[in-house]
């Protein structure tokens, strides 16, 4: 026991008498002052370490920020160069919204229409539209000037590093522009089924301004087929949007559809206008503002309807057209056609033919309907079974031909009545 104590005492004496502190390859770790008691310096031989370079052995390391916003707010961090599109809330401040369908992540240009933004591919737009190509070139010059003047953020508008081109001054609607882009990007389905007239009208109106020739040609051809001036295409089914078609014929230089569109208005009650549209007709300035069609077109429609109704009444009230035989029935007495009953080789008495007219024309509603749509009325008269009406075979065929010719005369005379040609309006009978 005493031996162990003596050995401990000897070791304590040796540590006291060992002299200066032991040197190593590193500088000695000296005891810091009381104010720096929690810090320790580390130095390399031959290198002077600045006082600022000090590792804290007590404080835990700073945690790395988990968000970009936190990193940007670190004290002493240099200020970033402002982004080209400005503050993140710029779209909200300007009340602009991205189009839900046409905002392509790889788009290179943003088109603004009625505060709606379309991010699209510049190369494709340049190829299709001469107007947009010029606007892009002008914006490039503005961008070059702003870069030289170092005023990029204030002179040129950017969204997500894409230049913004506004076409609001052209008067194009955002819905119309969207249909043009849809036709360009999704044209394949249109090869199987023609889109509705409203979509075609939107495409044509926007393309006529921007110069999309291919899409405009497609819309023109489709609309012309839909509103064909061919009499054979006219049926009892009325085409809607006739007022829009009349407006389109004028604004987009498509006169071929005007005749059919005006006749659709002729056979529509009040010409398709609401009461609010008709008010103010006596004042041309007020009417031009409130009516969707021009006052001169309304006057022309009124004159045309008056003329057509008068001629329809004359045609259906003329005994020669109603009950008299168009041919000399005695000529058919010697017919050799054995398939026709002997009694039908000549016309029946007038009373029998009139009874047939009253039943099939007056009571059926053909006579009344023809006042509003005389062309459809004439078509139905030509399709009646005149053999059952008491006429011989030759007279029945002649009756059908007569009503068909009158229908063609109605249609051809509409060109001058509606001032669709250079000829003067003649109010002569069409029957």
The angle formed by the CA atoms of residues 67, 70 and 76, to the nearest 5 degrees, is 140
Domain boundary assignment for the chain: 90-171, 176-299, 303-417
The angle formed by the CA atoms of residues 65, 68 and 69, to the nearest 5 degrees, is 95
**Which tens digit of pLDDT belongs to each residue from 317-355?**
888 777 776 655 654 444 455 555 554 567 878 888 888
pLDDT value, residue 209? 92
Please tell me which of 6-15, 68-77, 79-88, 266-275 the model is most confident about, judged by mean pLDDT.
266-275
pLDDT value, residue 426? 45
Q: Give the strand pairing for 162-166 and 109-113.
A: parallel
Lowest mean pLDDT among 51-55, 350-354, 411-415: 51-55
Lowest mean pLDDT among 123-127, 217-221, 295-299: 295-299
CA distances from 181 to 71, 168, 300 (A): 41, 16, 38
280: left (phi over 0), alpha (psi -120 to 50) or beta: left
Higher pLDDT: 289 or 208? It is 208
CB of 406 closer than 8 Å to CB of 359: no
* Mean pLDDT rounded to a whole number for the chain: 75
CB of 311 closer than 8 Å to CB of 371: no
Lowest mean pLDDT among 64-73, 306-315, 349-358: 64-73
Confidence of residue 194 (pLDDT cuts 50, 70, 90): confident
CA distances from 182 to 78, 114, 174, 350 (A): 46, 18, 12, 64
CB of 420 closer than 8 Å to CB of 413: no
Confidence of residue 418 (pLDDT cuts 50, 70, 90): confident
The C-alpha atoms of residue 146 and residue 140 are separated, in whole angstroms, by: 10
Examine the pLDDT at 172 and tell me if it is beyond 70: yes
């Amino acid at each position: 026991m005493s031996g162990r104590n003596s050995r401990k005492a000897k070791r304590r004496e040796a540590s006291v008498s060992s002299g200066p502190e032991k040197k190593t390859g590193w500088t000695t770790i000296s005891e810091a002052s009381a104010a720096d008691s929690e810090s320790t310096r580390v130095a390399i031989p031959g290198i002077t370490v600045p006082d600022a370079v000090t590792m804290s052995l007590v404080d835990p390391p700073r945690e790395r920020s988990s968000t970009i916003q936190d990193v940007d707010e670190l004290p002493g961090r240099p200020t970033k160069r402002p982004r080209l599109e400005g503050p993140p809330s710029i779209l909200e401040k300007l009340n602009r919204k991205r189009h839900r369908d046409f905002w392509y992540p790889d788009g290179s240009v943003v088109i603004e229409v009625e505060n709606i933004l379309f991010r699209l591919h510049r190369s494709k737009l340049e190829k299709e539209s001469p107007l947009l190509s010029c606007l892009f070139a002008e914006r490039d010059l503005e961008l070059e000037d702003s870069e030289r003047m170092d005023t990029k953020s204030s002179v040129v508008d950017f969204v997500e590093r894409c230049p913004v081109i506004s076409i609001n001054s052209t008067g194009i609607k955002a819905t119309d522009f969207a249909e043009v882009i849809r036709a360009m990007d999704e044209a394949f389905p249109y090869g199987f089924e023609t889109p509705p007239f409203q979509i075609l009208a939107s495409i044509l109106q926007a393309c006529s301004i921007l110069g999309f020739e291919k899409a405009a040609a497609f819309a023109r051809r489709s609309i012309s087929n839909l509103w064909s001036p061919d009499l054979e295409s006219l049926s009892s089914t009325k085409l809607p949007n006739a007022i829009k078609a009349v407006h389109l014929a004028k604004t987009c230089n498509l006169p071929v559809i005007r005749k059919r569109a005006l006749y659709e208005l002729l056979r529509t009650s009040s010409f398709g206008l609401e009461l609010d549209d008709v008010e103010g007709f006596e004042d041309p300035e007020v009417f031009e503002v409130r009516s969707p069609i021009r006052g001169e077109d309304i006057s022309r429609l009124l004159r045309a309807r008056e003329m057509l109704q008068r001629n329809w009444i004359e045609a259906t009230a003329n005994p020669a057209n109603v009950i008299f035989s168009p041919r000399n029935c005695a000529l058919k007495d010697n017919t050799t056609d054995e398939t026709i009953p002997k009694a039908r080789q000549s016309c029946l008495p007038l009373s029998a033919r009139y009874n047939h007219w009253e039943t099939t024309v007056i009571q059926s509603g053909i006579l009344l309907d023809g006042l509003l749509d005389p062309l459809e009325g004439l078509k139905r008269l030509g399709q009646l079974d005149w053999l059952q009406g008491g006429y011989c075979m030759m007279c029945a065929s002649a009756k059908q031909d007569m009503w068909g010719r009158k229908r063609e005369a109605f249609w051809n005379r509409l060109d001058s009545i509606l001032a669709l040609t250079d000829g003067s309006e003649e109010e002569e009978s069409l029957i």
